[in-house]
């Protein structure tokens, strides 16, 4: 058998019995004569880090920063853009920020810039809302996540106003003001943004409002559903479209307070903004309620920050419409 020996190899493993290595961290047995090395776990730094005890480590970015990957591998990534703000005066709801969600996204060793988009600002006088800002992970033109460019979530579209301005295009589209000509509702531009086969894009159009005069405005689109449409000369305000639920990304796992009833499962992102109320509310879909996932509501309620919710519309314009909610980036991998 020979003498038992012990030494450190180049990977800081303890080698015993002259020709074999035992990795005490992973219990992988290595035959050094075949140069077989264990696969090290994905490792990264950046943002605010959480290890909540569910088997994953999380990195949360609510402002710009860097995800520094020190050991390459795969991770799950949630990228949410800023929501659009609501319109003022027969104001449509703001569109939610687009959502890009990747599972087992390959990430090379590098410093990956993270840019978190702010929501569109509130409108203080008669007018359309403002679009939200994009959220990105990676550098422009540098391959990441199995695609030739950075990961992008697009800012939400603005809420329309009055009888002349429809909702704006965005990750999820903004809702029409109270009475507009075709085309209906703000278009959703998030779908198809990221070509990676492991990333899914979420975004829906804003609702349309096509009465013959200035009546109920429409809700903003959410990441999971279109904003509520308005047909005919009717009162109320269209509800915002619901956001998308992302299991494993529940708010308390990354230090955010439970947002119920903003999400019954505490994991919706990208709720569309509800429109500004004209006349009396009509239950259940014309009450100007924001969609699950942080959508603001009637009378200028803002979208919720870090959920990318669209801002609520306003009517009449005695005060400001609702600001869009800021975006977020969350990365997780096996701890």
- Amino acid 37: pLDDT: 56
pLDDT digits (tens, 9 = 90+) for 77-110: 999 999 999 999 999 999 999 999 999 999 999 9
- Amino acid 24: pLDDT: 27
DSSP 82: P
- Amino acid 15: pLDDT: 33
Mean pLDDT, the chain, as a whole number?
A: 88
Q: Is 53 left (phi over 0), alpha (psi -120 to 50) or beta?
A: left
Residues 84 and 119 sit within 8 Å (Cβ to Cβ): yes
Residue 66: closest CA among 149, 153, 136: 136
- Amino acid 139: pLDDT: 93
- Amino acid 110: pLDDT: 95
- Amino acid 179: pLDDT: 81
Using DSSP's 3-state secondary structure scheme, residue 34 falls into helix
- Amino acid 167: pLDDT: 95
Question: Can you list the pairs that 299-304 forms with residues at least 24 positions away whose Cβ atoms lie under 8 Å?
Answer: 300/86, 300/88, 300/122, 300/276, 301/274, 302/119, 302/122, 303/83, 303/85, 303/94, 303/96, 303/119, 303/271, 303/273, 304/259, 304/262, 304/271
- Amino acid 35: pLDDT: 57
Kindly report the pTM of this predicted structure: 0.88
242/293 Cα distance (integer angstroms): 7
Per the model's pLDDT, the better-predicted residue between 62 and 28 turns out to be 62
- Amino acid 34: pLDDT: 52
pLDDT-derived band at 27, boundaries 50, 70, 90? very low
pLDDT-derived band at 318, boundaries 50, 70, 90? confident
204/46 Cα distance (integer angstroms): 31
- Amino acid 84: pLDDT: 98
Residue 172: closest CA among 154, 150, 194, 196: 154
**287 beta partners:** 237
- Amino acid 10: pLDDT: 33
- Amino acid 324: pLDDT: 98
pLDDT digits (tens, 9 = 90+) for 205-253: 999 998 777 789 999 999 999 999 998 888 999 999 999 999 999 999 9
Is 17's pLDDT higher than 50?
no
């Amino acid at each position: 058998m020979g003498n038992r020996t012990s030494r450190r190899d180049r990977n800081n493993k303890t080698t015993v019995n002259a020709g074999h290595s035992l990795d005490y961290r992973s219990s992988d047995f290595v035959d050094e004569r075949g140069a077989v090395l264990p696969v090290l776990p994905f490792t990264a730094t950046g943002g605010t880090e959480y290890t909540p005890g569910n088997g994953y480590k999380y990195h949360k970015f609510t402002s710009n920063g860097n995800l520094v990957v020190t050991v390459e591998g795969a991770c799950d990534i949630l990228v949410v853009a800023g929501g659009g703000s609501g319109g003022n005066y027969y104001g449509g709801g703001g569109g939610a920020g687009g959502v890009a969600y990747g599972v087992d996204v390959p990430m090379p060793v590098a410093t990956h810039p993270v840019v978190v988009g702010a929501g569109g600002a509130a409108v203080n006088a008669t007018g359309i809302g403002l679009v939200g800002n994009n959220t990105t992970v990676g550098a422009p033109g540098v391959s990441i996540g199995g695609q030739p460019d950075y990961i992008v979530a697009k800012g939400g579209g603005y809420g329309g106003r009055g009888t002349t301005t429809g909702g704006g295009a965005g990750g999820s589209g903004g809702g029409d003001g109270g009475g507009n000509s075709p085309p209906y509702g703000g278009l959703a531009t998030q779908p198809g943004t990221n070509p990676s086969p492991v990333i899914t894009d979420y975004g829906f159009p804003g609702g349309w409002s096509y009465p013959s005069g200035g009546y109920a405005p429409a809700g903003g689109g959410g990441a999971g559903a279109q904003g509520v449409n308005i047909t005919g000369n009717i009162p109320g305000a269209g509800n915002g479209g619901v956001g998308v639920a992302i299991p494993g990304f529940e708010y308390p796992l990354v230090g955010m307070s439970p947002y119920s009833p903003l999400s019954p499962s505490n994991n919706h992102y990208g709720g569309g903004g509800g429109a500004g109320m004209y006349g009396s509310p009509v239950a259940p879909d014309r009450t100007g309620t924001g969609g699950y996932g942080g959508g603001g509501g009637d009378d200028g309620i803002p979208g919720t920050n870090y959920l990318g919710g669209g801002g609520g519309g306003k009517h009449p314009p005695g005060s400001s419409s609702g600001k869009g909610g800021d975006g977020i980036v969350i990365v997780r991998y096996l701890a």
